[in-house]
Amino acid sequence: MDVFVGSQFGNITTGNVLQALAGIQPIPWFENVYGDYKNWASASNNGTLGFPGVQFTSATQAFYAVLNKGKTPGPNANIVYTDATHNFESGILKHITTNGQAQYLPLYANVGWSNYNSGQFQIKKRFSQGYTFQGNYTLSHSLDVTSSGENGGNRPGGSGSADQLIDPYHPELNYTNSSFDRRHTFNGNFQVELPFGAGKFIGRNAGGLLNQFIGGWGVSGIVTLGSGNPFQYNAGNRYTLHYNGTDIAVPNGTIEYEINKGHTAATFTNGVVTGGGTPTVYFIKDKNLSETTCTADATCPETQVNRLAATKKFVTPYYGGAIARNYVYGPGYWNIDASLSKNLRITEGFTGVLRAEAFNVLNHPNFNGPGSTNIDSTSGTLGQITNARAARVMQFTVRLQF
């Protein structure tokens, strides 16, 4: 079946429908399940949804015509399968597939596979001369056909189409980066005794009360760095290849990525952002508010040029066309946790430790992937990041040992 047939005629209308869909051949499933579709579609009282008086040669042809009425057939057509089935079943007052208790009939099978390859590298110095450190780096690549089970502990599919096969007849087309793939990861830790106090570089001969103040200090920390996880864009108002939920949009143009910031509803005057409003962060490269002559990001065309243009650089999966998932890697991250400690010797059998700890000590923002990924959004928010990892947290402890 040539599913692109009719596209050269533009929008499907009563005047061109038979000529446009002449290449549509009968599909047994439609003929058996929706055999009455051609009569309903051509009924004289069905002018809104159907084509009154048009004599379709098959139920398949009629279904395709109704599905694409007023639209140009193709991957970006704003059509929904369930509209074509629901309207027919409501019209003939009969439950078939989209009403009653048969709205969604999933099929689960062991057709998935995955691969994980990595190289680990480690450097370590045992504690001596007052310090120790250790570093671990992993270069890895995880690939699979679906990541839902491993990534979220859930089966793929469901009414939300979570990570199900885009084309169930060709699961190999789904094989690409796992949703949890992280190409680069580094973890390091260190512990250092500061060179102050008795026997140290500074204050070597200190004793008594002086040593209690300047001796026994140490710092330690944990350093983590990593590249971002992959994500994809979805299409909310276009043709859906697998009938259920929304499809993953396939990019067919270049989009530049970079963290950039605006200030929704805030005021930009004399080079300074002031006033209320929640700061906004985007992952699609565009101008920052400070680079424009605008006073508010929410109404500034200059800060939305690339975001708006990006919505036109995709095509939804179509029979025989490209399929893609997890093709954009989100923002990476880096973090430092640190602590400052002081050992106290009160008496021979009574000691203590004072400790100040800070998680994300530099209060560095580590953004998660974009929360706005619907290419059919027209509000200029495509690629907007709506959450981040935790900000700085500090804690202080006192421990007495006896």
Residue 316 has pLDDT above 70, yes or no: yes
Cα–Cα distance for residue pair 289/293, rounded to 1 Å: 8
Cα–Cα distance for residue pair 262/280, rounded to 1 Å: 5
Cα–Cα distance for residue pair 239/236, rounded to 1 Å: 9
The predicted-structure confidence for 199-214, as pLDDT tens digits, reads as follows 788 877 887 778 778 8
pTM of the model: 0.76
pLDDT of residue 1: 43
Specify the 3-state DSSP secondary structure of 135.
strand
As beta bridge partners, residue 132 has 191
Q: b/e per residue, 93-108, with b = 16+ CB within 10 A?
A: eeeebbeeeeeeeeee
Instruction: Return mean pLDDT, the chain.
Output: 83
Both tokens of 278, joined, read: 């929640």
- The secondary structure element, H or E, covering residue 29 is helix 28-33
pLDDT of residue 359: 96
The predicted-structure confidence for 157-170, as pLDDT tens digits, reads as follows 554 456 777 777 78
- Segment among 11-15, 284-288, 386-390 with least mean pLDDT: 284-288
Residue 194 has pLDDT above 50, yes or no: yes
Residue 2 has pLDDT above 50, yes or no: no
- What distance lies between CA 87 and its chain's CA centroid? 33
Nearest to 291 by CA among 319, 313, 265, 263: 263
pLDDT of residue 88: 93
Residue 9 has pLDDT above 70, yes or no: no
Both tokens of 287, joined, read: 């101008």
State whether the Cα torsion 46-49-51-57 is positive or negative.
negative
Structure confidence at residue 128 as a pLDDT band (50, 70, 90): very high
Nearest to 3 by CA among 316, 233, 247, 248: 316
Whether 234 contacts 373, CB under 8 Å: yes
Residue 153 has pLDDT above 60, yes or no: no
The predicted-structure confidence for 177-192, as pLDDT tens digits, reads as follows 999 999 999 999 999 9
Q: From residue 295, give the alpha-carbon distance in Å to each of 97, 272, 379.
A: 52, 10, 18
Cα–Cα distance for residue pair 163/232, rounded to 1 Å: 11
- DSSP codes of every residue in 44-89: TT-TTTS-TT---S-HHHHHHHHHTBTS--STT----HHHHHHHHH
Return the domain boundaries, the chain: 7-92, 119-401
The predicted-structure confidence for 88-117, as pLDDT tens digits, reads as follows 998 998 888 775 565 566 667 777 889 999
Nearest to 384 by CA among 290, 295, 298, 275: 298
Whether 253 contacts 269, CB under 8 Å: no
Q: What is the mean predicted confidence (pLDDT) over 42-46?
A: 93
Q: What is the mean predicted confidence (pLDDT) over 279-298?
A: 75
Residue 309 has pLDDT above 70, yes or no: yes
pLDDT of residue 157: 55
